[in-house]
Amino acid sequence: MHDLFLIKPGEIELKLGNRREFTRRLKEQITKRLKGIPFIFEEYPGRFFLTVEEKDSELALFVLQHCPGINGVAKAIRIKKDIDEICQATVECAKTEISAGSHSFKIEARRSDKSFPLDSYKICVVAGNSLLSEYPKLSVDVHNPDFIISIEIREQAYVYSRTVAGPRGLPVGSQGKGVLLLSGGIDSPVAGYMMACRGLALESIYFHSYPYTSPEAQQKVERLAARISIWTGGMNLWIVPFTDIQLAIAKASYEEAKTLMLRMAMMQVADIIAHRINANSVVTGESLGQVASQTAENMRLSQSKTSLPVLRPLIGIDKEGIIAIARQIGTYDISILPYEDCCVLFSPKHPILKPDFGELRSHFESLALGNLIESAVDNSERKCFDFADALKSGI
Amino acid sequence: MKDIYLDWAATAPPDPDIMRIALEFSLKAYGNPSSKYWLGKEARQALEESRLRVMRSMGVTKGSLIFTSGGTEADHIPIFAILEKLKRASSAEKPMHAIISSIEHSAIEEQMRILERLGLQVSRIDPDSKGHIEAEQIESRIRKETALICIMNVNNETGAIQNIKAIAESIKETVLQKKIKKPWLHVDAVQALGKLSIRDLEDYADSFAISAHKIRGPKGVGGLWIARPLEAFIRGGGQESGMRPGTENLFGALAFSLAAEKAALSMQENQEKAIALEKRLLDGISSIPNTLTLPERIPQDKGFVPSIISMAFPGLGGETMVRALSDCHIAVSTGSACMSNIHLAERRVLKAMLVPDDIAFSSIRVSTGPLTTPQDIDSFLEQAEVLYRRLKT
C-alpha cells in the first residue's frame, strides 16, 4: 500500500525563469531528508506529488511539513478524471472526518483542465450531493464547515481533505549558503530558521570560551543546531575555541569597548569561515536596540569586519515577537536552559552605544588579533547534524 | 593525575570498611524490621543498636533519634509539623510566625517559602559581616505567634559556627519575659556533625538534623533528633515512632552509625589536622595577589570550623575557576554558579553578609576532610594561582 501526498509549492510558482532550478532544489531537499526511504517524486505545473509506502507515510508528512518552499501538503486520492470516481473518492475522504465527529462540510473544486465537462461549481454540487446521499445527517456549511473536501482536476483528478501548512518560502540552498552566528540564546536560532525558510542553506558558528563557558552551554547550542536542522535538512556546527581571543581583548582593550571588540572579532571569524565554505552571507539574531551592542552604529562597526552582507531577519521584531516564533519552532525551551555563558565579566557596565567608527576600528586593529583569529578558525571543531539528528531532538 | 578532593562539605568519600560491613550485614539480615519472625527481629535489633550508636557517638542521652532519608528530610519534619497548626491559625487574628536565618540551607529556606504561600509569616535574620547570627536579632522578633525558629549550627558555605547556646538562652529569657509559649527551636547540624561537639544541642534545641554522607557514611540516610514527639506530616506504617513511616533503611542506618562512631572517635585528631590545613590554606591564599577569604579569616578563629573556607578570586568567575580546577582533577565547589535560576539562591549567603556581587560571583568554597593532605592543599594553591593569573580578566 502506498500513500500519495499532494504538495502545494509557494513562491516557486512565481519564479518564471528559474522554476526548474527551484524545483530541483526542493526535490534535492526532500530526497536528502527521506534518505533510505523509497519514494516517487512527480512534478506538474502548480503541484508536486510524493508517493511513499504506507509505513513511511508519517515521516514523509513530517518532512514535507518542515521543508521550506512548501506552502501546504495533503494526503490525497488520485483518480481518473471521471465524476463518478471523484464522487466515490469524496465519500472515501469524508469517512475519516465523519468518524472524527464532523457534521458539516464544504467542497472546493479547482478545474485546471478546462476540457473537463463540469465546471468547478458543478463539480462541487455533484460531489456534495453524492456525499449527502451517503451521509444524510451531514449538512453543507460554506462559511464554517467542520471539514473541507478539495477536488482538483488536473492531468488527473485529486481529492483530499486535510491540508497541513508547510513553512512556505523557498527551498533551502536556492539562495546559496550563509553562516549563522549561533549562541545559546533565544534570538539566533530563530534567525537561522527564518533564513532557512528564505532558501539559505546554513552552517552555524558557536564561540566556545572554555572554561568561561561551560560544556553544558555547548551541548545546548548543539541541541539548537539539531533542532534547526528540521528546517535546514542538516547543518554543520563550527565550534570555535574563543578563549584566547577573549583573553587578549580583556587584557588589551578598555572596559567600555570590550563587547564591541568581541563582536568585531566574532564577525572576522565568521568572515573567514564564510569564505572557506563559499558562503555568501553572515546571519545574526540581532534586533535593533535590543541590547547595547545592537545599535545601528555598533552593527556598522561589527559588520565592517566582513565583506559579506550581514543578514538580520529579526532586526525589526521585538523580543515578544521573537519569543513567539521560538516557541513555535521549539527552540525556546532549549534556549532558556540555564547554561548562559559566563561572559558577565566581559560585559562592561556602561558599554559604548554610539562609537566613534574610525577610532574603534583603529583600536581593534591595534589589538592585532589576526593570528589568534586564524588559529581559532583552524582549531575549530566541526560537528555535523543531519535530519536524523533533528528528528532525535525531540519533536 | 591524582584526584584532589576538596569538597568535603558537599559530600565525603564513603568509608569502604564501613560500607562493606553494613552491606554484608544487610545482605544477611534482610528481614523487614517490623516483621515478627527471626529475620525481622535481627534487623530490628541492628536498627535499634544503630540508633543508639549514633546517639552515643554524639554524646546525646535524652530525646529520640529518627532515621530519615537525609538532612533535607530531617529539616522538613519540624517545619511540616507546624502545618496543621498553621491551618488552625489561619482563622485566628494574627498569622503564625517563624524565624529563620537568611543563611539557612535551601532545605529550610525553600520549604519556608512554600509555607509562606500557605500563610506563614517568616522573619529572616541577616548575619553580621562575618556570617554570624546575633541572639539579640532573634530575640527582638519573637512574638506570641512565633511557632518555629530555625538556625543552622555550621554554615555550609562559610564555615561560620552559630552560637546555639546563646541563641537558645536568649529565646528562653525572651519568652519568660513576654510570658509567651516557647517556639520550637530546630537546628540544622548537618555540617556540624563530626566537626565539633554537638552534645549540647540536646540541652538547647528541640530538634536537630544530621546527615550520614557528610561524615563518610552513605548518601540517602540522615537523622532527626527530637526532644519530644512532633506532629507527623507523613503518615504510613508507623515506623520511626510514626514520625517517618516507611520500611527502615537498615544498611543506611547501620553504616551511618558506624561512620558517626568513627567520626566521634577521631574528632580530636581530625580537628587538629583541619586546623593545620586551614593555616596552610589561609597562608597560601594570602600570598596570591588580590585574593581574599569570605569573610576575612584568620587561622584558628573559634567562630568558624577550620575545614570550610570560602574565598574569592576577583575578576574570575567562581564557576570558571571550578571548571578550570576540575580539568586539573581538583574538586572544589562554587557558591555562585553562573546559572540564572540557581544564581540568586547560591549567592544568598554571601549576599546576606553584604559581600559585593562581583566578589560573591568570583567565590569558591574549599572544604577539607580527614583524608586531605598538606600536599593536596599545596597542589590546589599552586594550580589556583596559575589559573587565576591566566584567566583573570
Q: What is the pLDDT of residues B176-200, one digit of tens each?
A: 999 999 999 999 999 999 999 999 9
Give residue B339's pLDDT band: very low, low, confident or very high (50, 70, 90): very low
Mean confidence (pLDDT) of chain B: 92
Distances (CA, A) of A266 to A270, B165, B194: 6, 59, 52
Q: How far is B322 from chain A (nearest CA, A)?
A: 9
- What pLDDT is attached to residue B337? 37
Confidence band, pLDDT 50/70/90 cuts, at residue B90: low
Active site residue B328: no
Q: How high is the pLDDT of residue B166?
A: 96
pLDDT attached to residue B346: 60
Contact B263, B369 (CB under 8 A): no
Alpha helices in chain A (DSSP H): 19-33, 57-65, 83-99, 120-134, 187-197, 215-232, 243-252, 258-276, 296-303, 319-328, 332-335, 357-366, 370-378, 387-392
Is the pLDDT score of A343 beyond 70? no
Pairwise CB contact (< 8 Å): A342 & B315: no
Nearest-CA distance B339 → chain A (Å): 5
The whole-angstrom distance between B325's CA and the closest CA on chain A is 10
Give the pLDDT band (50/70/90) at residue B345: low
Alpha carbon of B392 to those of B290, B327, B349: distances in Å? 11, 17, 24
**Chain B partners within 8 Å of A340 (Cβ):** 338-340
Q: What is the largest CA-CA distance in chain B?
A: 68
pLDDT of residue A79: 96
Ordered domains of chain A (ranges, CATH)? 2-165 (3.30.2130.30), 177-392 (3.40.50.620)
**CA dihedral (A303, A304, A307, A309) positive or negative:** positive
Identify which of B271, B140, B288 has the alpha carbon closest to the alpha carbon of residue B194. Answer: B271
Q: What is the mean pLDDT of the segment spanning B48-58?
A: 97
Looking at the predicted structure, is the pLDDT value of residue B299 above 50?
yes
Q: Where are the beta strands (DSSP E) in chain B?
A: 4-5, 64-68, 97-101, 121-125, 146-152, 184-188, 207-211, 222-226, 292-294, 308-312, 330-331, 333-334, 363-367
For chain A, the 3-state helix, strand and coil shares in percent, each to the nearest 5, are 45, 25, 30
Q: Between residues B342 and B369, which one has the greater pLDDT?
A: B369
For range A34-41, the mean pLDDT: 92
Each domain of chain B, given as residue ranges in start order, spans: 16-264, 267-391
Q: Which three cell numbers stand for residue A26?
A: 526542493
Residues of A in contact with B390 (CB under 8 A): 247
* Closest-CA distance of chain B to residue A182, Å: 19
> Would you give the end-to-end CA distance of chain B in angstroms?
28
List, for residues B153-170, the tens digit of each pLDDT value: 999 999 999 999 999 999
The domain at B16-264 falls in which architecture? 3-Layer(aba) Sandwich (3.40)
Range scoring the smallest mean pLDDT among A282-296, A303-317, B119-133: A282-296
The pLDDT of B338-345, averaged and rounded, is 43
Considering only CB atoms, A212 lies closest to which of B317, B339, B361, namely B317
Pick from B323, B391, B393: which is nearest to A214 by CB? B323
Domain B16-264 and domain B267-391 have a common topology = no
Report DSSP state, residue B14.
P
Among residues B10, B175, B196, B338, the one annotated as catalytic is B338
Least confident among A8-17, A26-35, A56-65: A8-17
**Averaged over A222-226, what is the pLDDT?**
95
Residue A347 sits at the chain B interface (C-beta within 8 Å): no
Determine the pLDDT at residue A388: 81
pLDDT attached to residue A346? 62
From chain B, pick out residues whose CB is under 8 angstroms from the CB of A250: 393
Any alpha helices (H) in A209-330, and if so which ranges? Answer: 215-232, 243-252, 258-276, 296-303, 319-328
* Mutation to test the A interface, candidates B338, B357, B359, B364, most A Cβ within 10 Å: B338
Q: Give the HSE-up count for residue A376: Cα atoms under 13 Å, Cβ half-sphere.
A: 31
Residue B344 has pLDDT above 50, yes or no: no
CATH superfamily of B267-391: Aspartate Aminotransferase, domain 1 (3.90.1150.10)
pLDDT at B338: 36
| Under 8 Å between Cβ of A148 and A128 | no
Rg (chain A; Cα; Å): 26
Residues of B within an 8 Å Cβ radius of A: 315-317, 319-321, 323-324, 327, 338-342, 361, 390-391, 393
pLDDT category, B330, cuts 50, 70, 90?
very high
Portion of chain B with pLDDT greater than 70, in percent: 96
Q: Which of A211, A250, A345 sits opposite B323 (nearest CB)?
A: A211
